[in-house]
Amino acid sequence: GATGTGKSVSLMVLAEGFSRLGVPVFLADVKGDLAGLSQPGQAGEKLQTRLKQLGIRDWAAQANPVVFWDVYGKNGHPVRTTISEMGAPLLARVLELNDTQEGVLAVTFTVADDNGLLLLDLDDLRSMLAFVSENAKEISGKYGLVSSQSIGAIQRALL
């Protein structure tokens, strides 16, 4: 929507209402418009006039419980997840893999799942890719073609 149409204010009002009801709210705040929810507002002249018109006497500004999440963990709470929880489709998008490479990544995840192996971090994924590469013939027969070129491309994307 266009600038100044009330999108951020609408989101803040909804978030404040849900928060008062005890419902957790997740908002992506790319521009920083919503960060003010963490601080109590101030009753400016327009607000005081409106409160008086409505006969509201007990209004008080209040802060809302806010956690700032940060993918890089530098300016907020770090976002943490495991490779297994991300899954092959999301990881393939993050790594900008093509369809064939995504398929090989999906096979790698399936082999790990079938063997009860969790892929917690990138080192686990690298080890699993090495295993798939070393056992490509057997794995290709059971799960579908796994080429060394695709495995190599995935490994390079992980650098």
Q: Is residue 114 part of a domain?
A: yes
pLDDT average, residue stretch 57-73: 89
Q: Count how many domains the chain has.
A: 2
Q: Which pLDDT score, from 0 to 100, does residue 21 have? A: 96
Which one of 34, 58, 78 terminates a domain?
78
Q: Which pLDDT score, from 0 to 100, does residue 145 have? A: 95
**pLDDT tier, 6 (very low <50, low <70, confident <90, very high otherwise):** confident
Q: What is the pLDDT of residues 91-111, one digit of tens each?
A: 999 999 999 999 999 999 999
* Residues 6 or more apart in contact with residue 109 via CB below 8 angstroms: 84, 87, 88, 119
Sign of the CA dihedral with 84 first, then 90, 93, and 97 last: positive
**pLDDT tier, 89 (very low <50, low <70, confident <90, very high otherwise):** very high
Which one of 42, 62, 78 terminates a domain?
78
Cα(121)–Cα(83) distance, integer angstroms? 6
Q: What is the pLDDT of residues 110-132, one digit of tens each?
A: 999 999 999 999 999 999 999 99
Domain hosting residue 95, numbered range: 83-157
pLDDT average, residue stretch 41-65: 92
Residues 61 and 17 in one domain: yes
Residues 151 and 87 in one domain: yes
Residues 150 and 94 in one domain: yes
Residues 149 and 106 in one domain: yes
Question: Which two tokens mark 111?
Answer: 């082999």
